[in-house]
Each structure stands twice: as structure tokens, then as C-alpha cells.
Amino acid sequence: MPVYFLSSLTPAAATSLRSLCSPRRFLHNRFDVSNQLSFSCALPEVSSRGSLVSVRAMAGAASASTPTGTKQALISLSDKRDLALIANGLKELGYTIVSTGGTASALEKAGVPVTKVEQITNFPEMLDGRVKTLHPSVHGGILARRDQNHHMEALNAHGIGTFDVVVVNLYPFYDKVTSSDSVSFEDGIENIDIGGPTMIRAAAKNHRDVLVVVDHNDYPALLKFLKGDQTDGGRFRKELAWKAFQHVAAYDAAVSEWLWKQTSEEGDIFPPSFTVPLSLNSTLRYGENPHQKAAFYVDKSLSLVNAGGIATAIQHHGKEMSYNNYLDADAAWNCVSEFDGPTCVIVKHTNPCGVALRENILEAYRLAVKADPVSAFGGIVAFNTTIDEDLAREIREFRSPTDGETRMFYEIVVAPSYTPKGLEILKGKSKALRILEAKKTSKGLHSLRQVGGGWLVQESDDVTPQDISFEVQSQRAADEKELSDAKFAWLCVKHVKSNAIVIAKNNCMLGMGSGQPNRVESLRIAFKKAGEEAKGAALASDAFFPFAWKDAVEEACQNGIGVIAEPGGSMRDGDAIDCCNKYGVSLLFTKIRHFRH
């Protein structure tokens, strides 16, 4: 017999019908009979034409639902790791498992009794799976507050059962759109989860009554909690809820980032707003100083997938990385990755104190140490070539040029790869030596820096000598060797803290001055380190020289520099040109500044 909703009845008739067909009344009578309770109510036909609207679907939905009081767990997973563990654990604790689509099929194959969600909603999946759980029979059971009588009465009135545990993770949108550059816009859109985030958010909001789990690593903790006395239940529930909202927030951030790239116009690189999804990698012993607490987070932005860099480096050996270790290793790796030929870079406090490029990487290493052996001691050594047996032995046994006896000590060695024998030898240098294997950092990324109350965002400084022209300004042009040295020095100086000066010859840094408030002092420090080898060398400055006569340019010329490379752009560029002409020095303008703060 069809069931109808009577849109206009006399008060007496309505009261009689409510009494006859009350789900609440019916449920109370059979509350503990079965975990899968259902009810039906057939109304007598009424002959009031035009006043009847069929509600067969509504009645069917009510009859298929489970009443409040039955322990139910809703499981819907894309990542099905440990599915049997959580499902069997909940089953043993007396939970009825309700599940969707592929998860339900996987549970059935694993021999776990499961109620499909359409049996709860009395509504099939539709729109190619876009609508599965978006139904009051699901969300009512998640969102209802158990301490609110009118909430529970509403559930009983509609035959909706409560869910006490919600185990959900989301469509692999992140993996899908990063797995290939050829993912279509339509395919990306279809991988945006709707029902999953809705269930997670609902359960997390109602965490006082519903335990929500989005990470398979939390399954053991959940089962342990459910088996225990739950005395500190509020804290555990809040932690799970926080993690759930973070899970959804990171997911939405990935979708937002992807959509921005799909819709933004060329050259529009800064969105009006964006979210940076950070994932805790490790808690560090301390920060920049021992009294500061610190942690290291990995950026999960889509733009950084396969971007390389220190954040994704593999540590093969040594003590745990510190805050300063990460900064120094990043500086060393970014610098050495700039060079095409076999290169060694040694960094101390984020500044390169030794850089050398040679066909023979052993020679490059020795020259990099020689540039400033005092600073190199305790520094970070980076290579852009594989560390083999010979290079590893050289690193392990090399003696400081200062006395010829002291073995060089390093905090970190970083390279793109190691031979098995090379790695074995290097591990023998010190138990503390951190050995990192890193991928080359991608170009075209944004760099972020915090200031009070905000963040500065800019494009990374990816300009290389191949991207620019070294324009001759002086009467004497640089010869081929001088030009090569100038390009090498200019590539080094971009990685030195401003004000920065680098002196180089034969693809080897001879001296470096950094971080001084005025350019003259940085220049003097660089010459002090370079010594007599500065004669005929190239000098690069990260910015223009504001003065020339009786200032940095003239001092450089008087100290025997052969060629100077600087951006130009000063009001007194003419003085710099005249000064170089007086001393027969070649002056090159790059028109590119390399400030680094």
C-alpha cells in the first residue's frame, strides 16, 4: 500500500495519525531487540483529492535506518592501509560497520560483516558516485548531540541511528594532480572529494560524541582508547578533531593551489590569498640558540612536489639535524647546485667561504678548503657530483692547510649521490657527521620570509650568467679567461650576505667579504683573505659602488684586480668607469643586483 503525506488534515485526524505512525513510539518498544532495527508504518488511504503527496521514499529511508543506541562506525577510505585492522577491532568491540563503495567491497572480501550506506539511506549512489553519503540519515547520525534531548528525539522521529566512530580519508587529489603534468582539468575536478570532507568536518565538530580518525597511524590509539576507561577522553577526542580539521584544511589548500594555477593568467604569480600546508617533520633539540625551542616542517604545497632541496634530503648517517644545520645545509646545497661543472662549496653560517670548480672533483675540494681553511673547519661541505671511494677517503683524511696535521672536521656533507663504498668510507670519519643525499632544488619557486605581522613573498633569485650580458664599460675589455672568472665570481657573490664582495681566479674563490654595513669593509675583508693571489683576479659585487675614487673601486684597482663585475646603476657610474680606465682594469656591468639579507 502506498504511503502518503497528508498536507491538510483536521487537527483530530492529524493527532490520530501521529499516534498511529510515531517512529519514536515504535522504536522505544523495540529498542534493544536488534542492532539492525527497522520499522514500517502504513497509513490508510484518504480520499481528500489534491491533499496527498507521496512520501514512499521518506518512509523507506526511515525504515532502513538504525536507531539511536546502536553502536555504529562509519568507514569510507581511499587509503585502505590497515583497513582490516580497524574494522575487525571495531567489530570485536561490538560496532556495526557501515561503509561505502570500494571500502565496503574491500571489507566484504576481508570477511568483515558490513552494512552498505545505501541500506542506511535507502538511496543508491548516484551521479557517478558524486552523491553517496550526503544524506540526513548519515549526517544526522554524526552531528546529533547526545546531551540534547530534542536532537535525539529528532533522530528517533526519523529513524536515524547515531554514529560513534567515523573513519574517513579523502580522494587522492594531491597524488593525482602531482603524478603527471598531463592531468586534465576535468580529471582534476573529478578527484575533488565532497562527501569525505563533509563527514570529517561533521564528526570533528561533534567530537564530544563522535571519534573521527583520518590517519591509519591512529587506528591502534583509537582501539586502545575504546577498550580503556576513557577517563581523559576529552583530550583525545579534541586531538583527533584537530587532526581531522588539519587534514581537510591541507586538502582544500591543495585544491585551491591547483585551481589558481589552472585559472590564473600568465604573469599573475601572486594569488590574493593562499595557504601553506606544513607537515611536522621533526622536533629539534633547540633553535638558533639553546634557549629557543624549534621544529622542522616540510612544505606540502603542490609546487614543491619533486622540487628537491634539503627538506626532502635523505640522511644516511650522523646526529640528528639541528636548526642551524638545516639553514647551513640549505645555503650550501643551493650554492653548489648553481654550477654545471664538478664543484665543491663549503659554507659557514650560511655564507660560502670556499668555492671551487675543476674537472677533477678532488682538486676542487682541496681548493675550496684552501680558500679559507679556518672558516671551513666545522662547516658544511657540498658537492654537485657523486661521492665515490676516492673522494670519500679524501674528505675523511684531509689535513687542514693551516698546520698540515689537523684532520678537517665538518658538520655535514651533502651530495646528489654516493657509491656504496664511498658512503661506507665517509661514515667512518665520525659518528656525528651528518651525511645527506639531496636532489637539485628546482627553479621558479617562491621564497617566503616572515616579518612582524606578515610575510614577504618573492620569486627566487634564479638568474645565472647564461641569462645576462656582461657589458663592457671600460676602455679595456676583459679577455676570455677574465670573463670566465668574472662570471664565476658573480655566481658566487649572489650567495653571500650583503654587502658582498667575492674575489676569484681560475674558477676558485680566493676571498669573500660579507655582511658589512658598507661595501668598502667587505672589499677589504675579501682582499685580506685573497692575499697576493688577488692580482689579476676577478672581483664581483652584489650591488653597485656608490663611490669610486678613494673608495672601493680605486682600492680594488690598486690591489691589482684585473676585472670588476657589478650591476651598475649608480649616479657615479662614470667615476667607476674613469677609475678603471686610469688603472687599466676591465669593468663589466651586469644590470642585475644580488642583494641577500
- Average confidence (pLDDT) over 481-494: 95
Distance CA 136, CA 56 (A): 16
The SS3 assignment for 352 reads: strand
Fold of the domain built from segment(s) 468-589: Cytidine Deaminase; domain 2 (3.40.140)
- Average confidence (pLDDT) over 114-129: 74
Share of the chain above pLDDT 90, in %: 45
Summarize pLDDT for 275-302 with one digit per residue, the tens: 888 889 999 999 999 999 999 999 888 7
More confident: 153 or 332: 332
Which of the four pLDDT bands, split at 50, 70 and 90, describes residue 180? low
The SS3 assignment for 86 reads: helix
Which of the four pLDDT bands, split at 50, 70 and 90, describes residue 551? confident
C-beta atoms surrounding 554 within 10 Å: 20
| pLDDT at residue 28 in the model | 34
Domain 301-437, CATH: 3.40.140.20
> Which is the catalytic residue, given 71, 243, 300, 349?
349
The verdict on whether 349 is a catalytic residue reads yes
> Which is the catalytic residue, given 205, 370, 427, 440?
205
Cβ(454)–Cβ(435) below 8 Å: no
* Same topology between domain 72-259 and domain 301-437: no
Distance CA 90, CA 217 (A): 16
Distance CA 573, CA 591 (A): 12
Which of the four pLDDT bands, split at 50, 70 and 90, describes residue 140? confident
Enclosing H/E stretch for 255: helix 233-263
Summarize pLDDT for 257-268 with one digit per residue, the tens: 878 887 777 767
Summarize pLDDT for 364-391 with one digit per residue, the tens: 999 999 999 999 999 999 999 999 999 9
More confident: 4 or 121: 121
* CATH classification (class only), 72-259: alpha beta
Distance CA 584, CA 277 (A): 55
Point out which residues pair with 503 in neighbouring strands: 511, 539
Alpha carbon of 129 to those of 134, 135, 198, 487: distances in Å? 11, 13, 15, 59
Q: Where are the beta strands (DSSP E) in 80-220?
A: 96-99, 115-116, 165-168, 211-213
Whether a cis peptide bond, with omega within 30° of 0, leads into 499 is yes
Distance CA 278, CA 257 (A): 14
| pLDDT at residue 492 in the model | 96
**Which sequence spans correspond to the domains of the chain?**
4-63, 72-259, 301-437, 468-589
Distance CA 307, CA 297 (A): 15
Calculate the dihedral angle through the C-alpha atoms of 548, 550, 551, 557, rounding to the nearest 10 degrees: 70
Mean per-residue pLDDT of the chain = 82
Cβ(165)–Cβ(95) below 8 Å: yes
Which of the four pLDDT bands, split at 50, 70 and 90, describes residue 455? confident
Is the alpha carbon torsion for 193, 199, 201, 207 positive or negative? negative
The verdict on whether 205 is a catalytic residue reads yes
